[in-house]
Structure 1
């Protein structure tokens, strides 16, 4: 009976007890193997999770480090700025002086001659010529020129006021160094713009001896150059340098006030203590006996 059972079960020809133990051992081996597989399989997700956590942690650390570096890095430099120019336009150059003033300086002038300009808001000039002829008793000649130059602020060059100050200083220096000038003197002028300088000298020409007065003034970002000269012809004595100087300074102050008024202002400021250079370059050509040409080079070119 036992053998029949063993054959039916397909067991080897061994005692039943031994076969059972072998089967049990095999089951235990299979169970142990399955446990090892399950344990190994369970370990894989744990490792993956651990690896994932480690990876995420590294990413977060890098992100945090990047954020820290970003916040610690200096911000972008702001765009450069420059102070805006105060004066935006210029007055009509032939109308900057009152009629009474013109009568004092150039009594025989009928009208002013406006200089050419490619931009009236940036530069302008006007000149007047006067010849008071007394026939054989001689004649008195006067010539007056006013020029204005306005500077805009520029981020690469500087503010309009600073550019005007540089030009002002150049103009004064030019007026002091006119070729052929004698007895050159210069002095600061009070109460005319932010800064002003008057330069006087004598200039000998074939038509006669000229007395030249140049007043250079700066009001904010505008430079005004006023040239005034006179001479006596045909035996007439030369005009007084002091008188010409006084008239020139009065006229320059009036022009500066006209610039301020044009831009909605009243008082054009007080002079500063800064030194200056000058706009009048050299006295212009002396007039012919008919007084058709102007004697000063200085202001005529500045328009």
Structure 2
């Protein structure tokens, strides 16, 4: 009995060695599995990042001052007796995305009648958005909406639509006749898109007190001229916004005569002329505007 006890102890000690090795082996396998799982997670995260949608950046990040987007010379030509030569800016909560300006006036020719003109320009800019698409794509959608809106003008007659070349990347003209305040108006709307910006310009006119109605051709020609200047102003505004602070210089071609002392005299003269209008003409203008 005494001899068998040491022998039994040696047998148990030898038997314990393989068990320890097996445990160590299992611990090693467990570690390998954890490392493998971590690697798979990293690969999955990387794949998710690569799968995120991307859109082309919008080209234009700013809009021009709408009341300066059309030169004073052109405004004077299209609206000879504008109530405000500087235009009336449209209300906007974010002028970097939406802006507009309008001019209107009555050129009183006494017994020969009067000519009324109205000019309006609007800008809408779209940013690129992963969920909505690129700025250019969103502008394209608005371009189509603005055309449909112009064609659906209430009371419009003889509505015609046609593409226009040389104005932005794409442009469409919509012309129609409209009777209001008992006078026949000629309308022309130009909808143009330049990258991620949509420009909508409308020009119309009518003859009062027996004065001849302006021709549709003249109204359309004026609208196209103003639209070209408005589209060009978009690119100019983007260039100016990219310049370092204090480096911008005025463009001689687009700088108006607002700083010229004679300009204020002209405005004063226009106001005196306007004050001499007959009450009948004033009533017609109020109804029209």
Q: Same fold (TM over 0.5)?
A: yes
Q: Tell me by how many angstroms 1:49 deviates.
A: 2.6
Q: Counterpart in 1 of 2:63? A: 90
Is this contact kept in 1: 2:69–2:229, CA < 8 A?
yes
Is this contact kept in 1: 2:181–2:288, CA < 8 A?
no
In the alignment, the residues of structure 2 paired with residue 86 and residue 68 of structure 1 have an alpha-carbon distance, to the nearest angstrom, of: 40
Q: What are the equivalent positions in structure 2 for 1:62-73 lying under 5 Å apart?
A: 62-63=33-34, 66=37, 69-70=40-41, 73=44
Q: Counterpart in 2 of 1:17? A: none
Q: Counterpart in 2 of 1:102? A: 75
Is this contact kept in 1: 2:174–2:189, CA < 8 A?
yes
Q: Counterpart in 2 of 1:160? A: 135
TM-superposition CA deviations, 1:43-80 (whole Å, max 9, x none): 23323233324423542553465367557757342244
Q: What are the equivalent positions in structure 2 for 1:211-226 lying under 5 Å apart?
A: 211-226=186-201
In the alignment, the residues of structure 1 paired with residue 54 and residue 287 of structure 2 have an alpha-carbon distance, to the nearest angstrom, of: 44
More helix by share: 2
TM-score w.r.t. length of structure 1: 0.73
Q: Counterpart in 2 of 1:37? A: 8
In the alignment, the residues of structure 2 paired with residue 171 and residue 187 of structure 1 have an alpha-carbon distance, to the nearest angstrom, of: 14
In the alignment, the residues of structure 1 paired with residue 13 and residue 176 of structure 2 have an alpha-carbon distance, to the nearest angstrom, of: 108
Q: Which segments of structure 1 move beyond 3 Å, counting only runs of 4 or more?
A: 60-76, 291-296
TM-score w.r.t. length of structure 2: 0.76
Q: What are the equivalent positions in structure 2 for 1:146-185 lying under 5 Å apart?
A: 146-185=121-160
How many correspondences in the alignment?
Answer: 245
Is this contact kept in 2: 1:85–1:161, CA < 8 A?
yes
Residue among 91, 94, 105 paired with 1:119: 94
Q: Counterpart in 1 of 2:245? A: none
Is this contact kept in 1: 2:181–2:287, CA < 8 A?
no
Matched position secondary structure for 1:203: strand
In the alignment, the residues of structure 2 paired with residue 292 and residue 206 of structure 1 have an alpha-carbon distance, to the nearest angstrom, of: 9
Is this contact kept in 1: 2:173–2:189, CA < 8 A?
yes
| Gapped regions of structure 2 (runs ≥ 5) | 241-279
Larger Rg: 1
CA-based RMSD: 2.4
Q: Tell me by how many angstroms 1:101 deviates.
A: 1.0
In the alignment, the residues of structure 1 paired with residue 168 and residue 67 of structure 2 have an alpha-carbon distance, to the nearest angstrom, of: 20
Are 2:103 and 1:128 equivalent residues in the alignment? yes
